[in-house]
């Protein structure tokens, strides 16, 4: 393993732009891009990753926070996808125990048939996981269900089914993959949008990108280029071929976050069939509860998608059928929206029915596009993409190391507090200035974490810190707004910025965070 490069942006840019040919250039720093980058670097390929904004800025920080096989894909009959995802779930738990843990899911039964019906279904789910199954599912009595979930609607309850899946922190896994990539000699840069693809004859031979912070442009040579930009893959495909037909049919998933009092259980709630035929979850996460999600086709993609009023109403109405007391609009502390990069289905089918398999397409010029899939299968997506890229570029054949790769910070310490997500790095952060100074009374974070984010995790803005290095924006948008001035101050100290930069950052962050609050 090579030593990580010194973590300064100038050095990263200098290394990226030196007169050399990269084996692999990955465009995109979300789940699929980071997965492919780690896969390439651990095989010893010289790899550069370029991210237009920040790591996991889009969909990859806005998931339902589950590492799962996909119970609803089982209902759709997609057994191979479920089996693959359950296998990857087991690997990820072994490779990042500081980020992934078992979580029980209660399916509450209010009809005589639902308990045996879902009980059998969950036994099939267990069987598909094989040796990597977490814990066996089981039937629970009415008394046990109410003991596990004191706020569950009591009228008509007949018991339920308890099964197990994994839970994680999505953007913390992204940062962990970034650090792992650097541990293996990879070079990664955020705020470096790719603005063009360079060609030798008809084949892609590199990319040009811009540093958003200085406006300076750079060109790099590459043996192969992987387009892993999630819902934005079509815009990169059009750089390659202006006539390229869109391959995505994106949909959005909305989540609301409420206080733990509405679901004071160590298990999650899983509603297997909502009024519109979807699955809905209420998941305890960082001492809050995440409730979602929806599946609404969207005509175009954006960096900051917004929830539709009817989506919020649907989530709260469904929650009220299972929770007592139920959260209202006034109880929502944050609303966030993720866009799914679904590969186009046959005409007329709705997005709930589109398979979530990942897809790899290679253009005539050699641009490899990786899209679809989900966080749980990020590693497999990266492995498949790098297998294809290596053949395409005639790179030396090397076996994958990632099925058993311990990710950066690997630790089995059973910490119950918010420090757990840092794994073995937690002790280092706790030695920094501000390790016992809270950022905000309603948030679990300390000032030292902001310093660490700037020094070691490439955080460049207040948003990078409060949304993705820490999860304040998703847990309590208003409290995160109140914490923003202090975060700007700490970042300015670490990155050498002035008061004008701080003021601009706070203003930008407030504008952004308002979009995570429900209008009164």
Q: pLDDT, tens digit, for every residue of 39-56?
A: 999 999 999 999 999 999
**Residue where the block lists tokens 């992204």:** 174
3-state SS assignment for residue 219? strand
Q: What is the pLDDT of residue 356?
A: 62
Cα distances (Å, whole numbers) of residue 407 to 96, 184, 399, 410: 6, 11, 18, 6
Give yes or no for residue 128 having a pLDDT over 80. yes
Q: What is the pLDDT of residue 6?
A: 40
269 neighbors 281 (Cβ within 8 angstroms): yes
pTM value is: 0.96
CB atoms inside a 10 Å sphere around CB 302: 14
pLDDT in tens, 344-359: 864 444 455 454 689 9
How many angstroms separate the CA atoms of 487 and 481, rounded? 10
Give yes or no for residue 3 having a pLDDT over 50. no
**For 427-440, what is the mean pLDDT?**
97
Q: What is the pLDDT of residue 394?
A: 98
pLDDT confidence bin for 118, thresholds 50/70/90: very high
| Superfamily of 418-514 according to CATH | Alpha-glycerophosphate oxidase, cap domain (1.10.8.870)
Nearest to 430 by CA among 412, 415, 410: 415
Give the helix/strand (H/E) hosting 297: strand 296-297
pLDDT in tens, 442-469: 999 999 999 999 999 999 999 999 999 9
**For 263-279, what is the mean pLDDT?**
92
From the CA atom positions of the chain, what is the Rg in Å?
Answer: 23
| Superfamily of 98-166+249-343 according to CATH | D-Amino Acid Oxidase, subunit A, domain 2 (3.30.9.10)
Residues 6+ apart with CB under 8 A from 500: none
**For 112-135, what is the mean pLDDT?**
94
Phi-psi region of 314 (alpha: psi -120 to 50; beta: other; left: phi over 0): alpha
End-to-end CA distance of the chain: 53
**For 143-152, what is the mean pLDDT?**
97
Q: What is the pLDDT of residue 346?
A: 46
DSSP 8-state secondary structure symbol assigned to residue 500: H
Give yes or no for residue 19 having a pLDDT over 50. yes
pLDDT in tens, 287-307: 999 999 999 999 999 999 999
Which of 338-347, 412-421, 488-497 comes out lowest in average pLDDT? 338-347
Q: What is the pLDDT of residue 345?
A: 62
Rounded to 5 degrees, φ, ψ at 340 are -95, 130
**Every domain of the chain and the residues it spans:** 9-59+172-248+353-404, 98-166+249-343, 418-514
**For 421-430, what is the mean pLDDT?**
97
Q: What is the pLDDT of residue 357?
A: 82
Q: Which class is 9-59+172-248+353-404 in CATH?
A: alpha beta
Burial 340-372 (b: 16+ CB within 10 A, else e): bbbbeeeeeeebeebebbbbbbeeebbbbbbbb
DSSP 8-state secondary structure symbol assigned to residue 332: -
pLDDT confidence bin for 8, thresholds 50/70/90: confident
Give yes or no for residue 387 having a pLDDT over 80. yes
**Residue where the block lists tokens 């208003």:** 478
Angle CA(65)–CA(88)–CA(473) in degrees, nearest 5? Answer: 15
């Amino acid at each position: 393993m090579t030593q990580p490069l010194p973590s300064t942006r100038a050095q990263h840019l200098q290394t990226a732009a030196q007169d050399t040919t990269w084996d692999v250039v990955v465009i995109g720093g979300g789940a699929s891009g980071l997965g492919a980058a780690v896969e390439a670097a651990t095989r010893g390929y010289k790899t550069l990753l370029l991210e237009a904004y920040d790591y996991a800025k889009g969909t990859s920080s806005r998931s339902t926070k589950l590492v799962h096989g996909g119970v609803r894909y089982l209902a759709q009959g997609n057994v191979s996808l479920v089996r693959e995802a359950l296998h990857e779930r087991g690997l990820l738990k072994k490779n990042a125990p500081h980020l992934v843990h078992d979580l029980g899911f209660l399916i509450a039964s209010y009809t005589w048939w639902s308990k045996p019906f879902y009980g059998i279904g969950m036994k099939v789910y267990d069987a598909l996981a094989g040796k990597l199954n977490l814990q066996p599912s089981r039937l629970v009595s009415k008394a046990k269900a109410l003991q596990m979930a004191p706020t569950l609607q009591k009228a008509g309850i007949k018991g339920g089914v308890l099964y197990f899946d994994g839970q994680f922190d999505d953007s913390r896994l992204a940062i962990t993959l970034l650090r792992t990539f650097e541990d293996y000699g990879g070079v990664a840069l955020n705020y470096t949008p790719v603005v063009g693809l360079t060609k030798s004859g008809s084949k892609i031979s590199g990319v040009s990108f811009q540093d958003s912070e200085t406006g300076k442009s750079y060109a790099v040579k590459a043996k192969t280029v992987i387009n892993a930009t999630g819902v934005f893959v079509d815009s990169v495909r059009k750089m390659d071929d202006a006539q390229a037909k869109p391959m995505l049919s994106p949909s959005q998933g909305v989540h609301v976050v409420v206080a733990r009092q509405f679901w004071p259980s160590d298990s999650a709630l899983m509603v297997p069939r909502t009024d519109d035929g979807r699955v809905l979850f209420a998941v305890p996460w960082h001492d809050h509860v995440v409730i979602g999600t929806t599946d609404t086709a969207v005509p175009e993609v954006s960096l900051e998608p917004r929830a539709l009023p009817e989506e919020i109403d649907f989530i709260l109405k469904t929650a009220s059928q299972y929770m007592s007391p139920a959260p209202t609009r006034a109880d929502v502390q944050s609303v966030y929206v993720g866009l799914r990069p679904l590969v186009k289905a046959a005409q007329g089918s709705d997005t709930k029915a589109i398979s979530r398999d990942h897809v790899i397409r290679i253009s005539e010029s050699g641009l490899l596009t990786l899209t679809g899939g989900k966080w749980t299968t990020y590693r497999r997506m990266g492995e498949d993409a790098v297998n294809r890229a290596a053949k395409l570029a005639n790179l030396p054949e090397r076996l994958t190391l990632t099925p058993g790769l311990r990710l950066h910070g690997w630790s089995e310490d059973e910490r119950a507090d918010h420090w757990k997500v840092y794994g073995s790095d937690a002790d280092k952060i706790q030695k920094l200035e501000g390790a016992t100074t809270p950022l905000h009374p309603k948030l679990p974070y300390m000032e030292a974490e902001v310093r660490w984010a700037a020094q070691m995790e490439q955080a460049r803005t207040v948003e990078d810190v409060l949304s993705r290095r820490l999860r304040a924006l998703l847990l309590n948008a208003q409290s995160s707004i109140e914490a923003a001035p202090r975060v700007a101050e700490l970042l300015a100290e670490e990155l050498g910025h002035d008061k004008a930069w701080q003021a601009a950052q706070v203003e930008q962050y407030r504008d952004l965070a308002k979009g995570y609050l429900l209008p009164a």
